[in-house]
Amino acid sequence: MFAAYAARIDRDQPLSGLELGERPAPEQRPGWTTVKVRAASLNHHDLWSLRGVGLSEDKLPMILGCDAAGVDEDGNEVVLHSVIGQTGHGVGPNEPRSILTERYQGTFAEQVSVPTWNLLPKPKDLSFEEAACLPTAWLTAYRMLFTNAGVRPGDSVLVQGAGGGVATAAIVLGKAAGLRVFATSRDEAKRKRAVELGAVEALEPGARLPQRVDAVIETVGAATWSHSVKSLRPGGTIVISGATSGDRPSHAELTRIFFLELKIVGSTMGTKDELEDLLSFCAATGVRPVIDEVLPLDRAREGFERLESGDLFGKIVLTTT
């Protein structure tokens, strides 16, 4: 079957290890289901995999891709939950939790195999391309906002780095849930798009907000960390799920953190139940993922290049024929 996969690890030039070509189809195994992939979306996790983060040399070649929607062996339209081994379903009892492409072949292929427990029905109102955007970036944003930040309708949130998959999702979900959303971006066009998606105001990184916020959705890391801390009200919460600009800020703002009793919460992916809730939320409210571009699988390199450059707003989706 045709696939986009990591053939080599290169920490400095990750795309040099990306190859497109034929790979073996999944083998049948008890408790697992093979899905015909209709659409799969790119995440920064895929670039980190090419750099060897979470993916070791002995696992190569590894088909990339965490997210997908497709059709199962019985003809059902399904969405994949990409956290494998979360409850032991389909794996050994002592096997550690992992994300697709860390231990198991991923979704950038014509077929993918996952534990049957990891499949959820795709809502009929969502296209395959829309559904394929949800299991990583949108699920991460959903958990950050509603589980770990604990915000309620009427609360205020700052989303750093508008344009990325998680940040874009947080703006759309926050608006739909009745939050007052602020956003930042270095790019004027992305700030404009953030407002169009529902942000009350979009500012340049580091700019003073009109008010202190209840929570900050942080995926940028070092470049925005000090601003995130300074933007919180006393007792507020930063939820962090990534550090695309680095994980060592020059100013940790420790004094402000303890004096104002701020909370720092780490967040990674989400549960199958949360993904089910997210699918229902999208179906009920009409909220849809922001898709920057849809490309056929054989043009996956173009999608990776745009992801690496940051020249996108929303998700890039790959489709199979």
Rg (CA), the chain: 19
Q: What is the C-alpha to C-alpha distance for residues 46 and 295, in angstroms, rounded to an integer? A: 16
| pLDDT class of 163 with cuts at 50, 70, 90 | confident
In the chain, where the domains are located: 1-133+288-317, 136-264
Q: What is the C-alpha to C-alpha distance for residues 201 and 112, in angstroms, rounded to an integer? A: 41
Nearest 5°: the CA angle 112, 45, 214 is: 125
- Residue 242: predicted pLDDT: 87
Q: What is the C-alpha to C-alpha distance for residues 262 and 27, in angstroms, rounded to an integer? A: 49
pLDDT at residue 298 tops 90: yes
pLDDT tens digits for range 60-108 = 999 999 999 999 999 999 999 999 986 777 787 778 888 999 999 999 9
Q: What is the C-alpha to C-alpha distance for residues 18 and 118, in angstroms, rounded to an integer? A: 27
| pLDDT class of 313 with cuts at 50, 70, 90 | confident
Q: What is the C-alpha to C-alpha distance for residues 178 and 185, in angstroms, rounded to an integer? A: 22
- Residue 223: predicted pLDDT: 94
pLDDT tens digits for range 226-261 = 999 999 999 999 999 988 888 999 999 999 999 999
pLDDT tens digits for range 13-67 = 999 999 999 999 999 989 999 999 999 999 989 999 999 999 999 999 999 999 9
Overall CATH class of domain 136-264 = alpha beta
- Residue 244: predicted pLDDT: 84
Give CATH for domain 1-133+288-317.
Answer: 3.90.180.10
Q: List all residues 6 or more positions away from 198 whose beta carbon is below 8 Å from its beta carbon.
A: 171, 172, 174, 175, 176, 181
- Residue 78: predicted pLDDT: 98
Q: What is the C-alpha to C-alpha distance for residues 310 and 65, in angstroms, rounded to an integer? A: 18
Place of tokens 């956290």: 83
Name the phi and psi angles at 259, rounded to 5.
-70, -40
pLDDT tens digits for range 114-156 = 999 999 999 999 999 999 999 999 999 999 999 999 999 999 9
Q: What is the C-alpha to C-alpha distance for residues 229 and 77, in angstroms, rounded to an integer? A: 43
Asked if 85 contacts 101 with a C-beta cutoff of 8 angstroms, the reply is no
The DSSP annotation for 244-259 comes to TT-S--S---HHHHHH
